[in-house]
């Protein structure tokens, strides 16, 4: 059996948490594209986001990928149908997997969604949760991304900010929510901190981990062509039977520094590409 070639697209480095989660479960050749020259996507129109994302999809398709993962909440929220229509390979976004997992584990049928301003403004998670019969309480947490990229994962400032955000979110939900959905790919890096300060009855759902599960299930449906199995040793998940190529549209050195932090492994080989437009 041959390993699948999985393309992963994000506007920056956050999608690396999705890549890491997939690599822990799925042996594959991974090709990651970070459109770092044009981030943030949240300030751009849906048409512009779709155009950028489709350009990235076509670049990755030229690398002979078998599957495309949109590891970008903004692109998924604003342009998934357009990307799916334009792509020549199956496409999986990050919104529906996280929502489906939240629906699976919630008993109160009520969830808090924490995300960036752009994702909250799109109401993509709220609408998807409603379709699954859940009430959604959305909370924008704009300070988390810069704190994570600064490396302040366990910093007292990050904890204090998180306590403020979560207390406001729990109050808005009248303490009925029993799921906290991490709807930004940066947030898994502070999942341990969030677990410490979140009420015990509230389950934390990581959209990166949920997306990895959906990708693995999708690949297992074609067992005659590809191999997908859980890693018996998560610490070796980024080694045996996995290869990685990274493409960025801006600074290679900055991406290497952040990618090493996000993946928990040294990232040396990053290629600069210019898609224009």
Q: Which residues are annotated as catalytic?
A: 72, 184
Kind and range of the H or E run holding 55: helix 46-61
Helices 124-131 and 95-105, packing angle to 10 deg: 50
Kind and range of the H or E run holding 156: helix 156-172
Residues 176, 181, 184, 186, CA torsion sign: positive
- What are the two backbone dihedrals, phi and then psi, of residue 241, each rounded to the nearest 5 degrees? 60, 30
> How far is it, in rounded angstroms, from Cα 27 to Cα 17?
16
With a CB cutoff of 8 Å and minimum separation 6, the contacts of 93 are 69, 70, 75, 76, 80, 211
Buried b / exposed e along 238-260 (16+ C-beta atoms within 10 A): beeebebebbbbeeeeebbebbe
- What are the two backbone dihedrals, phi and then psi, of residue 29, each rounded to the nearest 5 degrees? -95, 115
């Amino acid at each position: 059996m041959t390993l699948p070639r999985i393309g992963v697209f994000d506007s920056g480095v956050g999608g690396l948490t999705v890549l890491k989660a997939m690599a822990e479960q799925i042996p594959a050749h991974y090709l990651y594209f970070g459109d770092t020259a044009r981030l943030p996507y949240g300030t751009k129109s849906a048409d512009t986001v779709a155009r950028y994302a489709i350009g990235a999809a076509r670049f990755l398709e030229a690398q002979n990928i078998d599957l495309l993962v949109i590891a970008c909440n903004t692109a998924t929220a604003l342009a998934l149908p357009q990307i799916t229509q334009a792509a020549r390979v199956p496409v999986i976004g990050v919104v529906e997997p996280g929502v489906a997992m939240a629906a699976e584990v919630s008993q109160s049928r009520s969830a808090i969604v924490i995300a960036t301003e752009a994702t909250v403004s799109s109401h993509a998670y709220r609408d998807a949760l409603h379709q699954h019969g859940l009430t959604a309480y959305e909370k924008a947490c704009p300070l988390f991304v810069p704190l994570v990229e600064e490396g302040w994962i366990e910093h007292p400032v990050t904890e204090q900010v998180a306590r403020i955000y979560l207390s406001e979110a729990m109050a808005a939900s009248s303490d009925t929510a029993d799921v906290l959905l991490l709807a930004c790919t940066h947030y898994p890096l502070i999942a341990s901190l969030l677990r410490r300060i979140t009420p015990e009855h509230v389950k934390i759902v990581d959209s990166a981990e949920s997306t990895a599960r959906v990708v693995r299930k999708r690949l297992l449906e074609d067992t005659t062509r590809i191999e997908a199995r859980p890693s018996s040793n998560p610490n070796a998940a980024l080694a045996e039977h996995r290869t990685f190529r990274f493409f960025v549209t801006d600074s290679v050195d900055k991406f290497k520094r952040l990618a090493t932090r996000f993946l928990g492994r040294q990232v040396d080989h990053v290629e600069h590409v210019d898609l224009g437009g």
